[in-house]
Amino acid sequence: MEILTWTYLLVGLSFALYIGIAIWTRAGSTQEFYIAGGGVSPLANGMATAADWMSAASFISMAGIISFAGYDGSVYLMGWTGGYVLLALLLAPYLRKFGKFTVPDFVGDRYYSNTAKVVAVICALFISFTYVAGQMRGVGIVFSRYLEVPIEWGVVIGMCIVFFYAVLGGMKGITYTQVAQYCVLIFAYMVPAIFISMQLTGNPIPQLGLGGTVADGTPLLDKLDGVMTELGFAAYTSGRKSITDMFMITLALMVGTAGLPHVIVRFFTVPRVKDARLSAGYALVFIAILYTTAPAIAAFGIYNAIETTSEKNISELPEWISTWQKTDLISVDDKNGDGKVQYVADPALNELTIDRDIMVLASPEIAQLPNWVVGLVAAGAMAAALSTAAGLLLVISTSISRDLFKTFRPEISDKKELRIARIAAAGAVLLAGYFGVNPPGFVAQVVAFAFGLAAASFFPVIIMGIFSTRINKEGAISGMITGLVFTIGYIVYFKFISPETNSAEYWWFGVSPEGIGSIGMILNFLVCGIVSHLTPAPPQAVQDMVQEIRIPRGAGKAQDH
């Protein structure tokens, strides 16, 4: 069968599965809509968390960044995986024990203030909308290539699918849909990786294939270093970013992970605190399967892309180039008129432009794998993008219905609250679609901005809310506003107001917009701590509550003998 036929078949079957699960698990109460009734098993929650976590940025864009950035792209691997460990160890069990559905719920109760809760809602909305823009962009790219429609229409189709199962099923529907989506995405990621690893190195394990040798006996990474330097690029395994910026981006991604509301809320769907810890462990294993494979996919992809295009006659370019040219994500421009493609570092001479977001999707075609593998990757990419988009849309709808509306109208019924949540989700889908059509950057870059916002706004007030009894509402509100405004202002300035100055020589302290969330976080900590110590301490009841959160359930008091 043709690629398009396989794609329609596999994507159609996966969508039918997701929609069927959404109907089967339709939420009938606010508790089921927000936290799936709190009865999800740790194994299922671990799979759902992994799917929620591994977005279009992980599936589509991360390996693409590593393909073109080489060593510098490792910040995404280190930051995102390290951040999940931080979340699992430091935050998840305590937030689960606190017993609130959402991060703004926690902030409102811990800091005994509706104002603090509203500020937290605003932070959650900024983070979620920034993050979901990247997911919808990923959806558009997948549909644009495989269903042969413009990116704009691809985003619209994805919006309709997400709207159906996220708005209908809430967290209950999303959780069990994400279990299915994890199975689809991890299978779709690993199958081509194994195929290509066998082709290039003879080793079926991609992680080992990355350190293997190619046909002429040269180690793959040495071969890549040589090829890249010949074309004028830096060696693949060498770094070009400053150590400061590398550190700040990694830190922003790590602590941003620990402040992401759509991931944190997953730990409220299990019955007990013990199950929250267990599901975090399962999720880490499921996530590691993809994350340890991404560097191999990246190296294989860029190696094959250069081998099949550089110095080739334009009339002899492989079919995958012409196929992707239809999406405007690849362009060929014969600047010197010699009829050959020059892929070089110098922008004035370079004749081949490849959007980094397509590398994972295009790899099976570049490697000439069977058509069903190409269709499978399309289904996996859709699963990755839609699973995270659904989780984010639920955070947005919950923030509006529960954390905003019910805060000021506590008398509303569960039925009306559920209706407001669904209306809010529908509105969020439309706005997310707009950002998907007009994103502020490539998928992983947009997602990195979301992590920076989470690092600068949520992480300090959550971590200090758990481990300090002295931090009060004045400090929390001041810290969140400072971190959020500073980080948004920095990103907007360099990405929109003055993009021509978006380079290391103009960045403050040499920190890029992707890493500025670390500075925002530090400012949040400082402002929060200083303001808290200049204003009255929290009520004794709040201090007692904070102490109680950190005591394991079942722990008895010491006895005097």
Q: Residue 554 — left, alpha, or beta (φ > 0 → left; ψ -120 to 50 → alpha)?
A: left
Query: Does the residue 341 lie in any domain?
Result: no
Tell me if 317 is assigned to some domain: no
Q: Residue 152, CB half-sphere, CA atoms under 13 Å: how many?
A: 2
Mean pLDDT is lowest, of 36-45, 403-412, 453-462, for: 36-45
The tens digit of pLDDT for each residue in 247-262 reads 999 999 888 877 776 6
List Cβ neighbours of 59 (8 Å cut-off, separation of 6 or more): 138, 185, 189, 290, 360, 380, 381, 384, 385
- Tokens 């073109």, residue located: 68
Residue 490 sits in a domain whose CATH number is 1.20.1730.10
Under 8 Å between Cβ of 213 and 226: no
Q: What is the DSSP letter of 61?
A: I
Residue 556 covered by a domain? no
Q: At what angle do helices 273-291 and 74-86 cross, to 10 degrees?
A: 170
Give the 3-state secondary structure of 90-134. Answer: HHHHHHHHHCCCCHHHHHHHHCCCHHHHHHHHHHHHHHHHHHHHH
pLDDT-based confidence at residue 553 (cuts at 50, 70, 90): low
Phi-psi region of 507 (alpha: psi -120 to 50; beta: other; left: phi over 0): beta
Indicate whether 418 belongs to any domain: yes
Of 261, 273, 280, nearest to 551 by C-alpha is 273
Backbone angles phi, psi at 368, to 5 degrees: 55, 45
Lowest mean pLDDT among 44-53, 94-103, 204-213, 343-352: 94-103
Is the predicted pLDDT of residue 172 greater than 70, yes or no?
Answer: no
| Spatial distance between the Cα atoms of 52 and 548, rounded to a whole number of angstroms | 30
Tell me the mean pLDDT in the region 16-40: 61
Amino acid at 128: S
C-alpha 187 chain-centroid distance: 19
pLDDT band at 442, cuts 50/70/90?
low
Can you tell me the distance from the alpha carbon of 268 to that of 122, in angstroms, rounded to the nearest whole number? 21
Three-state SS string over 381-430 comes to: HHHHHHHHHHHHHHHHHHHHHHHHHHHHCCCCCHHHHHHHHHHHHHHHHH
Q: What are phi and psi of 217, to 5 degrees?
A: 90, 0
Half-sphere exposure of 35 (CA within 13 A, CB side): 22
Q: What's the total number of domains in the chain? A: 1
pLDDT at position 539 is 93
489 in a structural domain: yes
Cα gap 171→36, rounded to integer Å: 5
- With respect to residue 344, please indicate whether it lies within any of the assigned structural domains: no
| 43, part of any domain | yes
User: Residue 219's pLDDT is what?
Assistant: 93
pLDDT of residue 37: 46
Cα distance between residue 391 and residue 394, in whole Å: 5
- Confidence bin at 167 (pLDDT 50/70/90): low
Q: Is the pLDDT of residue 170 over 80?
A: no
Tell me: pLDDT of 210 over 60.
Answer: yes
Closest by CA position to 528, among listed 518, 516, 520: 520
Neighbours of 431 (CB within 10 A): 16
Query: Which pairing describes strands 352-354 and 330-332: parallel, antiparallel, or unpaired?
Result: antiparallel
pLDDT of residue 134: 73
Compute CA distances 326 → 254, 320, 321, whole Å: 37, 10, 9
In a domain, 336, yes or no: no
Collect all residues with Cβ–Cβ distance below 8 Å to 552 and sequence separation of at least 6. none
Other Cβ atoms closer than 10 A to 190: 16
What pLDDT score was predicted for residue 197?
A: 95
Neighbours of 277 (CB within 10 A): 17
CA distance 546 to 163: 38
Separation in Å, CA 195 to CA 296, 455, 473: 12, 38, 55
Range of the domain at 277: 3-303+366-549
Going 409 to 410 to 416 to 419, the CA torsion angle's sign is positive
Write out 470-522 in H/E/C secondary structure. CCCHHHHHHHHHHHHHHHHHHHHHHHHHCHHHCCCCCCHHHCCCCCHHHHHHH
Q: Which residues contact 298 (CB under 8 A, 6 or more apart)?
A: 63, 64, 65, 66, 67, 73, 359
For residues 384 and 59, is the Cβ–Cβ distance under 8 A?
yes
Tell me the pLDDT tens digit for each residue of 349-362: 888 888 888 888 88
State the Cα–Cα distance between residues 297 and 516, nearest whole angstrom.
28
State the pLDDT at residue 560. Answer: 41
The Cα 17–Cα 182 span in angstroms is 13
Q: How far apart are the first and last CA of the chain?
A: 79
DSSP 363: H
Alpha carbon 543 to its chain's center: 34
pLDDT digits 0-9 by tens, 405-427: 777 777 777 778 778 877 887 78
Whole-structure pTM value: 0.80
Least confident of 47-56, 143-152, 237-246: 143-152
- Do residues 63 and 358 make contact, with C-beta atoms less than 8 angstroms apart? no
For the segment 495-543, what is each residue's pLDDT rounded down to a tens digit? 888 888 888 888 988 899 989 999 999 999 999 999 999 999 999 999 9
Residue that wins the pLDDT comparison between 160 and 456 = 456
Compute the mean pLDDT over every residue in the chain, rounded to the nearest whole number: 82
What is the predicted pLDDT for the residue at 555?
Answer: 46
Q: Model confidence over 261-309: pLDDT tens digits?
A: 667 777 777 777 777 778 888 888 898 899 999 999 999 999 999 888 8
- Alpha-carbon distance 197 to 369, whole Å? 12
- Reported as a single tens digit per residue, the pLDDT across 48-93 is 888 877 777 788 888 888 998 888 888 888 888 888 778 777 777 7
| Contact status, residue 238 vs residue 70, Cβ threshold 8 Å | yes
Beta bridge pairs of residue 88 = none
Q: The tokens of 519 are what?
A: 């500075």
Residue 427: how many CB atoms within 10 A of its CB? 14
Note the pLDDT tens digit of each residue in 105-139. 888 889 998 899 888 888 888 887 777 777 777 77
